[in-house]
A and B are shown apart, each in its own frame.
Chain A
């Protein structure tokens, strides 16, 4: 069964450093998403992406964050200058269409630890 994959599974970085989290969405999916879950809190939406453009973003997704589809398979989330509060589990998701009845398929997540 096709699945969303994410690398690395765990990333440790120092405050102020840039990190790039990578995702390979399901191959025939066209809509991509990033969510995060801070320990003990809810899963929160960050951004959605289609046709090389951000289609929606949350208040969390400020200028420190960016997304990119650098090639035909990868989808990346970059945090320019990490803060302690960016420590969280980051989930990539993809869907075939944006239709509300089509589920979003989630990857296993990348645990980001900012020290």
Chain B
């Protein structure tokens, strides 16, 4: 199932700098997009989401941008902190379905 893709398996940034995590999707019927963060030995934790009718949603240090024409979304973390080091999953959902469709994840390392 390649409907949601995260093409970068890993990303390393310096503490205090911006982290940009990218996600592409193929299904134009998705209504909602979510970012989850996952630490080892824990389940995915919800971070931030965006409706398909919006192009930006901000929550503290986290901002998600949606470009529907390009079928692309990105998560910006500013400033990055060492505690942000985790695997970040992009996920999408349709209104007509209960299931979340996940990307393969991007491992973020924030260096002190």
Q: Is the CB of A104 within 8 A of B97?
A: no
Q: Is the CB of A100 within 8 A of B94?
A: yes
Q: Is the CB of B46 within 8 A of A103?
A: yes
Within 8 A of A (CB), among B85-112: 89, 91, 93-95, 97-105
**Which of chain B's residues have a CB closer than 8 A to the CB of A44?**
1, 102
Interface residue? B16 (CB, 8 A): no
Cβ of B32 to closest chain A Cβ, rounded Å = 4
**Which of chain B's residues have a CB closer than 8 A to the CB of A48?**
98-99
Q: Is the CB of A58 within 8 A of B99?
A: yes
Cβ of B38 to closest chain A Cβ, rounded Å = 9
Extra A-B contacts (7), CB below 8 Å, given A42-B102, A45-B98, A48-B99: A43-B89, A44-B102, A58-B99, A100-B32, A101-B51, A106-B43, A108-B42
Instruction: Name which of A33, A45, A55, A107 has the most chain B CB atoms within 10 A of its CB.
Output: A45
A45 to B92, CA, bound (A): 12
Q: Which 8 A-B pairs have the closest CB atoms?
A: A106-B43, A45-B99, A48-B98, A103-B46, A43-B102, A100-B32, A56-B98, A106-B44
**Which of chain A's residues have a CB closer than 8 A to the CB of B104?**
41-42
Cβ of A80 to closest chain B Cβ, rounded Å = 23
Interface residue SS majority, chain B: loop
A42 to B44, CA, bound (A): 12
Interface residue? A105 (CB, 8 A): yes
A92 to B42, CA, bound (A): 12
A106 to B43, CA, bound (A): 5
Interface residue? A91 (CB, 8 A): yes
**B6 to A, closest residue via Cβ:** A42
**A91 to B, closest residue via Cβ:** B43
Interface residue? B67 (CB, 8 A): no
Interface residue? A4 (CB, 8 A): yes
Cβ of B34 to closest chain A Cβ, rounded Å = 6
**A105 to B, closest residue via Cβ:** B46
Cβ of A65 to closest chain B Cβ, rounded Å = 15
